[in-house]
Amino acid sequence: MALAFDEFGRPFIIIKEQEQKTRLRGLEAQRANISAGKAVARILRTSLGPKGMDKMLQSPDGDVTITNDGATILEQMDVDNQIAKLMVELSRSQDYEIGDGTTGVVVMAGGLLEQAEHLLERGIHPIRIAEGYEMASRIASDHLEHIAQKFDFGMTNIEPLVQTCMTTLSSKIVNRCKRSLAEIAVKAVLAVADLERKDVNLDLIKVEGKVGGKLEDTELIYGITVDKDMSHPQMPKQIEDAKIAILTCPFEPPKPKTKHKVDIDTVEKFQTLRQQEQKYFDDMVQKCKDVGATLVICQWGFDDEANHLLMHRNLPAVRWVGGVELELIAIATGGRIVPRFQELTPEKLGRAGLVREKSFGTTKDKMLYIEHCANSRAVTIFIRGGNKMMIEETKRSIHDALCVARNLIRNNSIVYGGGSAEISCAIAVETAADKYPGVEQYAIRAFADALDSIPMALAENSGLQPIETLSVVKSQQIKENNPYCGIDCNDVGTNDMREQNVFETLIGKQQQILLATQVVKMILKIDDVISPSEY
């Protein structure tokens, strides 16, 4: 453990509490790191593709999650190893950036690490490997652009978008009704999309789930749902042409933030105070009524008296609505969030064609639907499903599908899936490798081999002979000069992904390759791991 010694052989203490730390150096460190990275990739490998399996994860509190979303698996796994944590980060950044392909990126990184290990054994310096990988990733990314296709869609022609979302959904448990879910996702994205700026704010799409019913009952609501009910049981359950006052001030007596005391020392004071209080409540309700509101949505609670006054004046109200929901309601109805009663004006009211309360099942579950809003730029996807886990998983799947649709609107280039893009890249990288003199050539070639790991995993998960299938497809690509041949996971009978309608976004794929390369480079550059020892 010692780092340096003086002339008598006594160690210099350089690191604080040096004896209590374990340390790995040089090749040892790289090997250990690579094996940790590979172990993570191995866990995810079986989840890849339409026939991938799920993982069951039990959290420290005993809750069960079943998923095959790479990012979720890694996040819930609660890993301890530092390198494994890097892989988790990798998957997460793919999730933030693209939203889909979180499993693929980790498998890719795993493949790269595996190849790097072989090269290290041959005595190639890790930095040279890293540089080779970097070059190769640039070649691959350029090649992807080369084989990518633009495809056209419009508000009326959403079919291509739906097809892409279906590819994403087909690997999830919801693939039973992938068609309807894909349509929902695409319609939701188009509803909120800003086609001129080519951007989509996914925050405008709210994904709500409620246990019960079946997956087929999942619906897209052009409006907002709020998991609340009217504050008074006898308020009307349905309001048409609602004018909504959106308030962030409670229907309660004023509560100045500075400390104060109201001293009561005479009977008169007591009585005036009482009258003041009553007037205050009355004023609050009256103000809402005066501006013409027919529905009050409030972030805070109501006093009993205020509640009755509202009921009495025939002004339905909803209380304890969360901040995020309040904002969405404001966006959807075109209203303004009003922080004080004094500032309430008719222009600040939101408008909605229909507000209704809907109850579910045998228990007293109620939700408030706000529909036909003035500005339908906020939509809600309302998921129903057999149980909680199913709903959670559907939420994640829908999220992926939404991200894919968004990416397509941002950039409408696609590459074909089923491993075809990877195989094609592998061929391109392989041929390019020969042009590089020097040791990097080996690294570039290794990169090509690593690219094969994704189609290989796909074939393996689909129950095909991995090596045989891959070599057949590869030779077919070269022979026919057709970069659209991939692994036929669903046993349809054709290798041509154009016929199978399996495609993915170009940026998603590029990002996968770049991110994976970056992380692998980082791992390779580590040659010293110092960690506090177990005890």
Partner 1 sequence: MAIEKILKDEASEEKGERARMASFVGAMAIAELVKTTLGPKGMDKILQSTGRGHQVTVTNDGATILKSLHIDNPAAKVLVDISKVQDDEVGDGTTSVVVLAGELLREAEKLVAAKIHPMTIISGFRMAAECARDALLQKVVDNKENAEKFKSDLMKIAMTTLSSKILSQDKEYFAQLAVDAVLRLKGSTNLEAIHIIKKPGGSLKDSFLDEGFILDKKIGVGQPKTIENAKILVANTAMDTDKVKIYGARVRVDSMSRVAEIETAEKEKMREKVQKIIAHGINCFVNRQLIYNFPEELFADAGILAIEHADFDGIERLALVTGGEIASTFDNPESVKLGHCKLIEEIMIGEDKLIHFSGVEMGQACTIVLRGASQHVLDEAERSLHDALCVLSQTVNDSRVLLGGGWPEMVMAKAVDELARKTPGKKSHAIDAFSRALVAIPTTIADNAGLDSAELIAQLRAEHQKEECNAGIDVISGSAGDMAELGISESFKVKQAVLLSATEAAEMILRVDEIITCAPRRREDRM
CB-count burial class (<10 Å; 0-12, 13-18, 19+) for 26: exposed
CB-count burial class (<10 Å; 0-12, 13-18, 19+) for 287: middle
Instruction: Tell whether residue 361 is a contact of partner 1 (CB under 8 A).
Output: yes
For partner 1, which stretch binds (CB under 8 A), given 58-66, 100-108, 162-170, 403-411?
Answer: 58-66
Binding mask 414-453 for partner 1 (x = CB under 8 A): ----------------------------------------
Instruction: Tell whether residue 265 is a contact of partner 1 (CB under 8 A).
Output: yes
Catalytic residue status for 103:
yes
For partner 1, which stretch binds (CB under 8 A), given 152-160, 343-351, 380-388, 478-486?
Answer: 380-388
| Catalytic residue, candidates 67, 103, 168, 469 | 103
Question: Nearest approach, Cβ of 30 to partner 1 (angstroms)?
Answer: 11
Query: Nearest-CA neighbor of 234 among 289, 296, 315, 321?
Result: 315
Between 37 and 419, name the residue whose CB sits nearer to partner 1. Answer: 37
For partner 1, which stretch binds (CB under 8 A), given 304-312, 316-324, 403-411, 451-459?
Answer: 304-312
Cα 144 to Cα 486: distance, rounded to the nearest angstrom = 15
Catalytic residue status for 102:
yes
Cα 253 to Cα 280: distance, rounded to the nearest angstrom = 7
Cα 45 to Cα 457: distance, rounded to the nearest angstrom = 6
Catalytic residue status for 54:
no
Q: Helix or strand or coil: residue 152?
A: coil
- Residue 166's alpha-carbon distances to 91, 136, 274, 397, in angstroms, are 22, 31, 64, 11
Question: Nearest approach, Cβ of 272 to partner 1 (angstroms)?
Answer: 11
Cα 91 to Cα 151: distance, rounded to the nearest angstrom = 28
Find the binding residues for partner 1 in span 280-299 (CB under 8 A). 280-281
Task: Tell me the torsion sign for CA atoms 300, 301, 303, 307.
Answer: positive
For partner 1, which stretch binds (CB under 8 A), given 120-128, 179-187, 305-313, 509-517?
Answer: 305-313
Cα 342 to Cα 327: distance, rounded to the nearest angstrom = 20
Find the binding residues for partner 1 in span 223-252 (CB under 8 A). 232-234, 252
Q: Which of 152, 304, 435, 532 binds partner 1 (CB under 8 A)?
A: 304
Between 229 and 504, name the residue whose CB sits nearer to partner 1. Answer: 229
Residues in a beta bridge with 355: 239, 370
Find the binding residues for partner 1 in span 462-491 (CB under 8 A). 463
Question: What does the block give as tokens for 334?
Answer: 């075109």
Question: Nearest approach, Cβ of 491 to partner 1 (angstroms)?
Answer: 9
Residues designated catalytic: 69, 102-103, 400
